[in-house]
């Protein structure tokens, strides 16, 4: 009988962890997953997602074989520009201002589509994002911003499909196992983990470990320490369990800290949402349609270029801009032109919103200075240009002489009733993590692999700096999870 409980042990049960477990199980028989949460709360941040995966493709024909849902009659009306490797790479470089790790970025981009096909082979179901990523222009339904593919059933569906695949192949998923440290052998190799369970502390031994336990976004103290003042007050958009024990334990055994440790993905979020993600509403509390209105702070002033780019390329940094405002509070304001373009999320039951027939009345209802808000909106309306409006392209319909500018989609706000959505900042995940090589092996401070330790997902640093292209988190978890699982299985066999 082996001394080891598992050939490969994966810490976490989100998308990166399941991807690692499936890949390991292709090569070795005893694969385990340890999840801190209860079975009812399984799935990490991945559960709360829309299930949007950013991947490359040349056109609809590339995607057809992996789509479980496609209305062929509707498909005739779709315009889907190709999204080749060069475009994904250019988006990563542009948004991170050239700081993304070139090796990790190349792997993410080049492996994206093959990994979608591989996930599809493991029972993950995909569809086109034909609701919130499409606008109809001249009778054609045009996809925009690289957000094209999502899982059937969103994040909830993704986790259900992963779990079903894991059960079918005999992967052992153990809930209520909070990893608190590593078992390290005399040569420095990782040989398992220490866990806190309802029955007390346990040691679980494995020939190889994959760390996929997420970032530290759900720990207020670590947020304040690493992201800076004010971040302790941010709400958490997803799981309450990503509090960084796995990440900090890895640093504790010599893993190299890597990437943008003071940076995080954070969005505009319904001001009345709870402190952590809501497992029924999941991503519906997000407020991503700000490019089609204006956003003001409690002083009644604009503070951000709402139309700087497609929202897929700005939404991850708008949360931090809101956090910096008085009280961490802002209001997205739309007239009836903007209201017609809102994402479906805005319409959920209980969404916080205020409606008024005039700007003055709106200001009074929001407890803002009415004269100031009227001045802001009049100034904005007077500065907008007169080019044609097109939400599917960067239409250049910009303000002139206004600070901050609105660079695209700047239509006047003058058609009542007006609607305001109060928003705060919610953190999605932290960008800093451990350093991995191209085989997803965790590196020490001398750039050497720590034997037996692999990592994937949010716990890895180096890909995202300051900003992020929507849909890349799940894609990165799957790409590097698959690599980590494969390498861990190989390491496990070599050790045997
Ligand atoms: C509301 C919302 C919407 C989003 N939408 C999208 C989207 O559509 N597309 C996209 O690409 N990204 C999206 N994201 C980001 C995405 O969720 C992450 O990038 C991705 O899910 C990270 O996967 P992961 O497996 O690394 O982490 P997670 O899915 O968070 O998994 C980490 C797991 O580790 C467990 N864990 C933590 N600590 C321990 C421990 N000590 N011991 C054992 N287990 C532990 C956690 O409980 C969790 O199950 C969204 C996030 C949120 C919150």
Co-location of 204 and 303 in the same domain: no
Query: What is the domain range of residue 371?
Result: 266-426
Share of the chain above pLDDT 70, in %: 100
User: Phi and psi dihedrals of 354, rounded to 5?
Assistant: -130, 130
CA-closest candidate to residue 110, choices 484, 470, 480, 485: 480
Instruction: Please check whether residues 408 and 439 belong to one and the same domain.
Output: no
- Please tell me if the CB atom of residue 46 comes closer than 6 angstroms to any atom of ligand 1: yes
Kind plus residue range of the DSSP H or E element containing 22: helix 15-25
Q: How far apart are CA 428 and CA 354, in angstroms?
A: 26
**Which are the contacts of 120, defined by CB distance < 8 A and separation ≥ 6?**
65, 66, 126
Res 221 pLDDT > 60: yes
Predicted local confidence at residue 342, as pLDDT: 96
The rounded distance, in Å, linking the Cα atoms of 353 and 331 is 9
User: Which has more confidence, 142 or 413?
Assistant: 413
Section 79-104 average pLDDT: 97
Average pLDDT over residues 183-187: 96
Q: Which is nearest to 232 in space by CA: 264, 272, 260, 268? A: 264
Q: What CA–CA distances, in Å, run from 279 to 49, 97, 473?
A: 10, 34, 19
Domain annotation covers residue 232: no
Same structural domain, 422 and 296? yes
Cα separation, 131 vs 361, in Å, equals 33
Q: Distance (Å, rounded) from C-alpha 138 to C-alpha 393?
A: 14
Report whether 265 contacts 464 (CB < 8 A): yes
Per-residue model confidence as pLDDT tens digits over 351-364: 999 999 999 999 99
Residue 227 resides in a domain: no
Q: Given this model, what pLDDT does residue 211 score?
A: 99
pLDDT at 2: 67
pLDDT in the model for residue 1: 41
* Residue 208, SS3 per DSSP: strand
User: Can you tell me which residue has the tokens 């965790």?
Assistant: 442
Pocket of ligand 1 contains residue 141 by CB under 6 Å: no
Q: Token digits for 179?
A: 């990893």
- Final residue before a domain boundary, out of 410, 426, 442: 426
Taking residues 191-207, report their average pLDDT.
Answer: 98
Give the model's pLDDT for residue 444.
Answer: 98
Q: Establish whether the linkage from the previous residue to 234 is cis, with ω within 30° of 0.
A: no
Domain boundary among 365, 398, 426: 426
d(CA 29, CA 314): 43
Q: What is the pLDDT of residues 266-318, one digit of tens each?
A: 999 999 999 999 999 999 999 999 999 999 999 999 999 999 999 999 999 99
Q: Same domain, yes or no, for 399 and 440?
A: no
Say whether both 187 and 67 belong to one domain. Answer: yes
The residue behind tokens 């999204």 is 83
| CA-proximal residue: ligand 1, atom 11 (nearest) | 471
Q: Is residue 222 part of a domain?
A: no
For ligand 1, is residue 242 a contact (CB within 6 Å)?
A: yes
Alpha carbon nearest to ligand 1 atom 50, residue: 49
Q: How far apart are CA 149 and CA 116, in angstroms?
A: 10
Return the residue whose CA atom lies nearest to atom 2 of ligand 1. 49
Residue 428: CB within 6 Å of ligand 1?
yes
DSSP 3-state of 183: strand
What pLDDT score does 154 carry?
97
The reported pLDDT for the residue numbered 236 is: 98
High-pLDDT (> 90) share of the chain, %: 92
Separation CA 368–CA 350 (nearest Å): 22
Q: Does 436 reside within a domain?
A: yes
Q: How far apart are CA 468 and CA 97, in angstroms?
A: 11
Q: How many domains does the chain have?
A: 2
DSSP 8-state class, residue 80? -
Q: Answer whether 217 contacts ligand 1 (Cβ < 6 A).
A: no
Mean local confidence (pLDDT), 75-101: 95
| 315 and 459 housed in the same domain | no
Q: Measured from the CA of 473, which atom of ligand 1 is nearest?
A: 19
Beta strands 449-455; 200-211: pairing state: parallel
What is the whole-number distance in angstroms between the Cα of residue 47 and the centre of ligand 1? 7
pLDDT at 404: 98
CATH number, domain with residue 422: 3.90.700.10
460: in domain: yes
CA angle (86 as vertex; 81, 91 as ends), nearest 5: 85
What is the Å distance from ligand 1's center to 214 Cα? 6
Question: Burial code of 340-372, b = ≥16 C-beta within 10 A, e = fewer?
Answer: ebbbebbeeeebebbebeebebbbeebebebee
Residue 187, judged by CB atoms within 10 A of its CB (0-12, 13-18, 19+), counts as exposed
Please tell me the distance from the alpha carbon of residue 208 to that of residue 30, in angstroms, as a whole number: 11
Is the pLDDT reported for residue 496 higher than 80? Answer: no
pLDDT category, 197, cuts 50, 70, 90? very high
| 255 is a domain residue | no
pLDDT of residue 485: 98
Compute the distance between CA of residue 414 and CA of residue 23 in angstroms, rounded to an integer: 55
Residues 52 and 193 in one domain: yes
**What spacing in Å lies between the alpha carbon of 364 and ligand 1's midpoint?**
40
Instruction: Output the CA 459–ligand 1 centroid distance in Å.
Output: 10
What does the pLDDT read at residue 251?
98
Rounded distance between C-alpha atoms, residue 235 and residue 424, angstroms: 8
Residue at 233 is within a domain: no
CATH number of the domain that residue 113 is part of: 3.50.50.60
Q: Dihedrals φ, ψ of 16, to 5°?
A: -65, -40
Q: Could you identify the atom of ligand 1 that is nearest to the CA of residue 245? A: 41
């Amino acid at each position: 009988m082996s001394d080891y409980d598992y050939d490969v042990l994966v810490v976490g049960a989100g998308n990166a962890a399941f991807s690692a477990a499936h890949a390991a199980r292709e090569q070795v028989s005893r694969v385990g997953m340890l999840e801190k949460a209860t079975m009812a709360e399984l799935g990490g941040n991945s559960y709360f997602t829309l299930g949007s995966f950013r991947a490359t493709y040349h056109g609809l024909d590339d995607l057809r074989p992996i789509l479980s849902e496609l209305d062929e009659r509707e498909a005739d009306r779709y315009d889907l520009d190709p999204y080749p490797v060069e475009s994904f790479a250019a988006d990563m470089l542009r948004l991170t201002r050239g700081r993304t790790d070139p090796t990790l970025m190349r792997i993410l981009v080049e492996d994206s589509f093959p990994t979608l096909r591989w996930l599809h082979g493991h029972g993950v179901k995909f569809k086109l994002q034909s609701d919130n990523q499409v606008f109809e222009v001249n009778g054609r339904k045009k996809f925009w911003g690289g957000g094209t593919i999502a899982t059937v059933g969103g994040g909830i569906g993704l986790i259900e499909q992963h779990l079903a695949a894991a059960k079918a192949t005999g992967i052992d998923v153990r809930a209520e196992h909070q990893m608190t440290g590593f078992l390290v052998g005399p040569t420095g190799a990782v040989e398992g983990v220490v866990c806190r369970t309802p029955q007390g502390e346990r040691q679980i031994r494995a020939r190889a470990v994959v760390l996929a336990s997420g970032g530290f976004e759900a720990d207020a103290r670590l947020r304040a320490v690493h992201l800076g003042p004010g971040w302790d007050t941010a709400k958490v958009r997803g799981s309450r369990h990503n509090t960084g024990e796995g990440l900090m334990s890895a640093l504790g055994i010599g893993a190299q800290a890597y990437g943008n440790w003071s940076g995080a993905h954070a969005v505009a979020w319904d001001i009345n949402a709870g402190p952590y993600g809501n497992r029924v509403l999941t991503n519906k509390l997000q407020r991503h349609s700000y490019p089609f209105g204006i956003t003001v702070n409690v002083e009644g002033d604009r503070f951000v270029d709402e139309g700087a780019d497609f929202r897929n390329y700005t939404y991850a940094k708008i949360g931090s801009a809101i956090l910096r405002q008085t009280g961490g509070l802002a209001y997205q304001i739309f007239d009836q032109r903007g209201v017609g373009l809102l994402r479906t999320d805005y319409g959920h039951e209980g969404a916080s919103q205020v409606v008024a027939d005039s700007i003055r009345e709106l200001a009074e209802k929001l407890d803002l200075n009415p004269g100031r808000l009227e001045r802001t909106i009049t100034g904005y309306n007077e500065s907008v240009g007169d080019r044609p409006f097109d939400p599917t392209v960067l239409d250049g319909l910009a303000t002139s002489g206004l600070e901050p500018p609105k660079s695209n989609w700047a239509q006047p706000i003058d058609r009542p009733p007006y609607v305001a959505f109060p928003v705060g900042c919610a953190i999605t995940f932290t960008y800093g993590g451990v350093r991995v090589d191209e085989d997803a092996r965790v590196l020490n401070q001398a750039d050497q692999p720590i034997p037996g330790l692999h990592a994937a997902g949010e716990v890895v640093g180096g890909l995202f700096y300051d900003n992020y292209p929507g849909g890349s988190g799940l894609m990165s978890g799957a790409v590097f999870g698959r690599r980590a699982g494969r390498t861990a299985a190989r390491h496990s066999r070599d050790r045997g």
